[in-house]
């Protein structure tokens, strides 16, 4: 779809939306197409039924032919019944649950896309914006499609059918009625770019506000602690105000063409009536045709005049479809062929450079390092040095722009993503717990694990004592008890997950950084069990926690500047020594 779409005629753009809608509908496309074609047929049948008013009125008012009147009444009734049945059948798509199934399928597709998308792209999107696309845009896109299509067909196709039929009754009447359409369309085409822009701005403002609300709610505990709810509340208020401004502007943009089109329609229909009356007075048109025309005019003035309002909703659907298409179009990271699985787990970074899409400077610049198998390598260095980026690239959060990363000699890009995920366990400082039982929260690391295996992992991770104290033990929902688990307990659940996964590579991102001494000791015991005989990478700020590491890599400005064991690096009296001395002095002062 053309994201701006301002350069296309309304018809070309509607066709593009139609194609995009069918593409988005996936497996339900045929049913949706049939349903919309059914609505089209119903609108035509309704137009033909109304056109029967011409011969019917003539039979009643001019010739007094009862037989002909009954005949046309019967035809008109049959057409009206056919229109009702066709519409009923077409709308079955909605009330039979197919529409709900289609939105569900689309949401599932978008959910799968989130899993396939490079993590860098996902992280760059704000949570609230994603939820606005998955929920709001999917609903806007599909739920109202049938209703809007029905209204537009009743406003356009039915009057057009009657006007075409009127050509056969009296060509002058037909031409007059048909003239109203060519007048409406350029008017609509003229205002349309502004309406499109307005709808896209509105969609964007909705996403922004949705993201701001989610962030505000998620950050509320931190904001309260920092006594800065006010500042963020003001930011949220500004976001609401922006939404209001965009809404007002969109309404203003819609109001102008709405009034113009409504006036043109009213005046146009009035003009048709005036011409009809003149022709009757002049004796060139029979009164029955005029009566039928007047009934038709009364019938159509309302839907024709509100035509622009319906098309506004079409713009809204188009904007939502664009967002959905953009999300579905994000390609996963490429998988190089031939696919390969490593059987040893030493890791090598070879001259790796990487810059985040949103960043000005590279996070890693010509970084080369070796992480031997079955040993512990620590990454240390000042904040922003690139330590987390090293672990992210290893998990294929994104691909480096230069250089390569190998695992057991195999380029990461050759390893299928699911297999790669299966090779790594990660323990972060912040543990994410799902609103599910403790058992399920640990088992998610390996869903096929037996209950005994889950319990064994929890035992090794020193979780048993606190799990047994929970209100429903293993079946306590972690969402319900909220923050009643301490940082250390959450951390041990995360380690139990990693133990259960039993992956050959373990990444530890400062898991003990935020813990008190007692909790730190328990978590440290659990970590000791986790790292045995595995390739371990640990990110540490507190150097005292990695004194025993087999290798320490000192990273600064995205480059490896020193490496060795703790004692060697102290003797070297380089950057590591400076960092170490600074931390020792700080902790002495603290004591």
Ligand X SMILES: Nc1ncnc2c1ncn2[C@@H]1O[C@H](COP(=O)(O)OP(=O)(O)OP(=O)(O)O)[C@@H](O)[C@H]1O
Of the pair 357, 587, the CB lying nearest ligand X is at 357
Cα torsion angle, 466, 472, 473, 474, sign:
negative
Of 47 and 381, CB closest to ligand X? 381
In degrees and rounded to multiples of 5, residue 517 shows phi and psi of: -60, -40
Closer CB to ligand X, 383 or 533, in the complex: 383
Angle (deg, nearest 10), helices 229-282 and 307-329: 140
Helix axes 171-225, 145-169, angle to 10 degrees: 170
Q: Report the nearest approach of ligand X to the CB of residue 472 (Å).
A: 37
Angle at 339 between CA 336 and CA 343, to 5 degrees: 125
* Minimum distance, C-beta of residue 361 to ligand X, in the bound complex (Å): 7
Q: How far is the CB of 385 from ligand X (least distance, A)?
A: 4
For residues 50 and 369, which CB has a smaller minimum distance to ligand X in the complex? 369
Please report, as ranges, the residues that interact with ligand X according to CB under 6 A: 123, 356, 358-359, 363, 381, 383-389
Contact (CB, 8 A) for 261 and 188: yes
Nearer to ligand X by Cβ, of 380 and 415: the residue is 380
Smallest gap from Cβ 559 to ligand X, in A, equals 12
Place of tokens 């929890």: 458
Q: How far is the CB of 218 from ligand X (least distance, A)?
A: 18
Can the peptide bond before residue 338 be classed as cis, meaning omega within 30 degrees of 0? yes
Task: Please state, in angstroms and rounded to a whole number, the distance separating the CA atoms of residues 304 and 155.
Answer: 5
The three-point CA angle 561-565-569 to 5° equals 55
- We find the least distance from the C-beta atom of residue 214 to ligand X, in angstroms, to be 18
Q: Minimum Å distance from CB 448 to ligand X?
A: 34
Q: Which residue lies nearer to ligand X by CB, 363 or 543?
A: 363
How far apart CA 505 and CA 424 sit, in angstroms, is 5
Q: Are 200 and 5 in contact (CB under 8 A)?
A: no
Please enumerate in sequence order all residues whose Cβ is within 8 A of that of 398, keeping only pairs 6 or more positions apart, or say none: 118, 119, 120, 333, 354, 356, 392
Strand partners, 564: 552
Nearest-approach distance from CB 379 to ligand X, in angstroms: 8
The count of other CB atoms within 10 Å of the CB of residue 34 is 14
Residue 337 vs 383, nearer CB to ligand X = 383
Give Cα 76 distance to the centre of its chain. Answer: 48
Nearest CB to ligand X, comparing residues 71 and 356 = 356
How near is the Cβ of 90 to ligand X at its closest, in Å?
47
385 versus 431: smaller Cβ distance to ligand X = 385
Nearer to ligand X, 229 or 557 (CB): 557
* 191 vs 253: CA distance, rounded Å: 8
**Residues facing residue 554 across a β-bridge:** 380, 562
Minimum distance of ligand X from residue 227's CB (angstroms): 24
Q: 119 CB contacts (<8 Å, ≥6 apart)?
A: 392, 395, 396, 397, 398
Contact status, residue 561 vs residue 386, Cβ threshold 8 Å: no
In the numeric block, which tokens belong to residue 114?
Answer: 């989130």
């Amino acid at each position: 779809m053309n994201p701006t779409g301002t350069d296309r005629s309304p018809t070309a753009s509607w066709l593009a939306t139609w194609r995009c809608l069918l593409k988005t509908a996936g497996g339900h496309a045929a049913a949706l197409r049939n349903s919309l074609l059914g609505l089209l047929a119903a609108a035509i049948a309704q137009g033909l039924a109304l056109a029967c008013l011409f011969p019917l009125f003539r039979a009643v008012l001019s010739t007094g032919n009862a037989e002909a009147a009954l005949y046309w009444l019967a035809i008109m009734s049959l057409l009206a019944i056919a229109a009702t049945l066709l519409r009923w059948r077409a709308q079955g798509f909605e009330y039979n649950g197919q529409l709900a199934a289609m939105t569900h399928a689309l949401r599932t597709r978008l959910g799968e896309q989130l899993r396939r998308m490079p993590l860098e792209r996902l992280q760059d999107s704000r949570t609230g914006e994603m939820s606005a696309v998955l929920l709001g845009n999917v609903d806007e896109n599909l739920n109202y499609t049938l209703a809007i299509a029905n209204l537009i067909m009743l406003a356009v196709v039915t009057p057009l059918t009657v006007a075409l039929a009127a050509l056969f009754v009296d060509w002058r009447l037909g031409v007059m009625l048909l003239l109203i359409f060519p007048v409406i369309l350029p008017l609509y085409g003229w205002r349309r770019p502004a309406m499109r822009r307005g709808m896209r701005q509105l969609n964007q403002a909705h996403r922004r506000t949705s993201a701001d609300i989610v962030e505000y709610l998620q950050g509320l505990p931190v904001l309260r602690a920092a006594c800065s709810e006010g500042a963020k509340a003001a930011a949220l208020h500004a976001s609401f105000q922006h939404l209001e401004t965009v809404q007002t502007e969109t309404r203003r943009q819609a109001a102008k063409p709405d009034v113009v089109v409504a006036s043109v329609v009213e005046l146009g229909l009035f003009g048709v009536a005036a011409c009809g009356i003149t022709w009757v007075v002049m004796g060139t048109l029979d009164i029955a045709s005029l009566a039928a025309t007047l009934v038709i005019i009364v019938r159509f003035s309302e839907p024709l005049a509100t035509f622009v309002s319906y098309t506004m909703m079409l713009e809204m659907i188009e904007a939502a479809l664009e967002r959905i298409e953009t999300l579905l179009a994000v390609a996963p990271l490429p998988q190089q062929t031939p696919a390969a699985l490593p059987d040893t787990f030493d890791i090598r970074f070879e001259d790796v450079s990487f810059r985040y899409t949103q960043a000005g400077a590279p996070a890693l610049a010509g970084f080369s390092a070796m992480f031997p198998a079955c040993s512990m390598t620590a990454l240390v260095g000042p904040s922003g040095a690139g330590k987390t980026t090293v672990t992210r690239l290893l998990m294929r959060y994104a691909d480096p722009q230069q250089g390569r990363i190998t695992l057991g000699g195999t380029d990461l890009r050759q390893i299928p993503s699911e297999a790669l995920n299966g090779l790594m366990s990660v323990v972060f400082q912040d543990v994410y717990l799902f609103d599910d039982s403790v058992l399920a929260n640990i088992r998610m690391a390996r869903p096929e694990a037996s209950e005994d295996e889950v319990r064994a992992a929890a035992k090794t991770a020193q979780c048993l004592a606190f799990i047994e104290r929970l209100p429903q033990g293993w079946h306590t929902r972690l969402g319900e008890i909220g923050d009643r688990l301490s940082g250390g307990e959450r951390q041990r659940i995360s380690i139990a997950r990693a133990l259960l996964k039993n992956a050959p590579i373990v990444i530890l991102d400062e898991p003990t950084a935020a813990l008190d001494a007692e909790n730190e000791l328990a978590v440290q015991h659990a970590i000791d069990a986790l790292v045995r005989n595995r390739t371990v990478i640990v990110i540490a700020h507190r150097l005292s926690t990695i004194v025993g590491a087999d290798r320490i890599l000192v990273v600064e400005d995205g480059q490896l500047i020193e490496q060795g064991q703790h004692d060697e690096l102290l003797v070297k009296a380089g950057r590591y020594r400076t960092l170490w001395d600074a931390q020792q002095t700080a902790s002495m002062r603290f004591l």
